[in-house]
Amino acid sequence: LLYGLQKTTLTRIRDRFGEEVFSQFFEKIVKICQEKGLVKGESLMIDSTLIKANASLDSLIPKDPEAKTEIKKGNGLTPPPDRKISNATHQSQTDPDATLAYKKGTLRSLKYKVHTSIDSDSRVILDCFVTTGAYHDSQAYISRIEHILKTFSRNLKEVIADRAYGSASILSTLASKKLETYIPIFSGRSGRASSLPERGFVYDDIKDQFICAEGKALLHYPKTFSDRKRYHTKAADCITCTQQMTCLGNVKKKEKVRYVDRTIYQPLYEEVKERMTTSIFIQKLTERMWKMEGRTYVEDGRNYCGS
Ligand code: SF4
C-alpha cells in the first residue's frame, strides 16, 4: 500500500488530517500487513537516527530573557568560535522543539531524532516515533515497546538493539516482561564493580561477601543505596596489612576500613556478558545491523562482544 504513495503525499495527509488520524492510518496499514501474514510480530528491532531540523543555528536565542542578548551570527551552519551555545541555555526561535545534537563526524546542528522499530522477520515498520534531537536513544524505548505490544504484537518474544539501549534499567525491565534480549551492555553503565576481580577483590556469591588480596572478608554493610551494595573490611584487618599501598579498595578514613561497592545489577550484567559471546547473540546483532543500518558486522568495526 505504501509503495503507491509519494513521500509528499504522506506529508500532506499528516498536515491535513493531523497527527492522530495519521497515526491511525499508519496503524491500519500495519494491521493489514498482519492480516495478510506479512508481520509475525515475534521479534523486534529498533534503531534511532538524527535528522536535521529546518532551523539554523542563528535562530538560537537565550532562554533566560535577562541573559546577555547579544547574538553573534555565524553562517547558519556552524556557530562562531567564541559563541557558547547549549540546550540548557538556548532555544531556537523558529523551531523551539529542535535541539542541538551531533553524531561523531557530523556538525553540531539543530536536530530531531526518529526512533524506528521494525518486525525483524519482514522488516515492516511497526513504530516510528519522533523526539527532539537531544533525546537519548534509550529514553523512549520501554514506552515504545509497550505501545507496540498493545497495538500489534502481543506475541512478542525477543528484542534486538545496539548497545545504546543496553542499560541496566532497560535490560531488567525487558527481563521482567519475559522478553529475550539481544542487546549488548552499554559498558559505561555496567559499573566499576564488574572489574572488581581484576582489582584484587573476588566476590563470593554463596556468602555474599568479597575476599581481598590478603584473604580478608569484606562483609555487606547494611547501608542502603538505590543501585548498589557496599562491603567493608574490619578496621583491624587493614591496619597491619602489608598491601595497603597497592590495595585498590576505597578508603574510609574515619573508620580506617576499606570498602568496595557492587551494583545490584551485577548478576544481570554477568548473564548478558556471557550471552554476548554466543553465536546466536552475534548472529542477531549482525542481522539487526544490515536490516536496520544497511551495514555488515565487519564494516561496523566495533566489537560488541569483547567488552
Ligand atoms: S588493605 Fe585491607 S582490604 Fe586491602 S588487601 Fe589489605 S586487608 Fe585487604
The predicted structure's pLDDT at residue 13: 75
Answer whether 147's CB lies under 8 Å from 154's CB: no
Using DSSP bridges, classify how beta strands 158-160 and 43-52 pair: parallel, antiparallel or unpaired: parallel
Q: Is the pLDDT of residue 300 over 60?
A: no
pTM of the predicted model as reported, rounded to 2 decimal places: 0.76
Strands (E), the chain: 43-52, 60-62, 90-92, 99-101, 109-119, 125-132, 158-160, 180-182, 202-204, 209-211, 217-221, 228-232, 250-252, 257-263
pLDDT of residue 224: 72
pLDDT number for residue 307: 37
Q: Is residue 212 a contact partner of residue 203, using CB atoms and an 8 Å limit?
A: no
Ligand 1 pocket (Cβ < 6 Å) reads 212-214, 216, 233, 237-238, 241, 243-244, 247, 249, 258
Q: Which residue has the higher pLDDT, 66 or 35?
A: 35
Per DSSP, the three-state class of 301 is coil
Q: What is the pLDDT of residues 140-149, one digit of tens each?
A: 999 999 999 9
Task: Note the pLDDT tens digit of each residue in 126-138.
Answer: 998 999 999 888 8
- For residue 124, name the pLDDT band (cuts at 50, 70, 90): very high
Q: Best of 201, 218, 233 to mutate for ligand 1, by most ligand atoms within 8 A of CB?
A: 233
Hey, which of 199, 218, 241, 252 would you mutate to test ligand 1's pocket, going by the most ligand atoms within 8 Å of its Cβ? 241
- What pLDDT, in 10s, does the model give residues 58-94? 888 888 776 654 555 556 555 555 567 788 888 898 9
**From the alpha carbon of 212, which atom of ligand 1 is closest?**
8
How many residues in total does the chain contain?
Answer: 307
Flag the least confident range among 108-112, 119-123, 150-154: 150-154
Would you tell me how many other CB atoms lie within 10 Å of the CB of residue 117? 24
Residue nearest to atom 7 of ligand 1 (CA): 238
Question: How would DSSP label each residue in 172-218?
Answer: HHHHHTT-EEE----GGGS-GGGGGGGGT-EEETTTTEEE-TTS-EE
Least confident stretch, 85-89, 112-116, 195-199, 214-218: 195-199
Residue 302 has pLDDT above 80, yes or no: no
User: What is the arithmetic mean of pLDDT over 255-260?
Assistant: 86
Computed over every residue of the chain, the mean pLDDT equals: 83
- Rounded mean pLDDT of 40-46? 94
**pLDDT (tens digit per residue) in 15-26:** 888 888 888 888
Label residue 192 by pLDDT band (50, 70, 90). Answer: very low
Task: Provide the percentage of residues in the chain whose pLDDT is more than 70.
Answer: 84
Rounded to an integer, what distance in angstroms lies between the CA atom of residue 265 and that of residue 178?
17
Give the pLDDT score at 263. 86
* Torsion sign over Cα 296, 301, 302, 305: positive
Average the pLDDT over 241-257 and give the result.
87
Angstrom distances, CA of residue 12 to CA of 5, 7, 16, 280: 11, 9, 6, 43
- What are φ and ψ of residue 285, in 5° steps? -70, -40
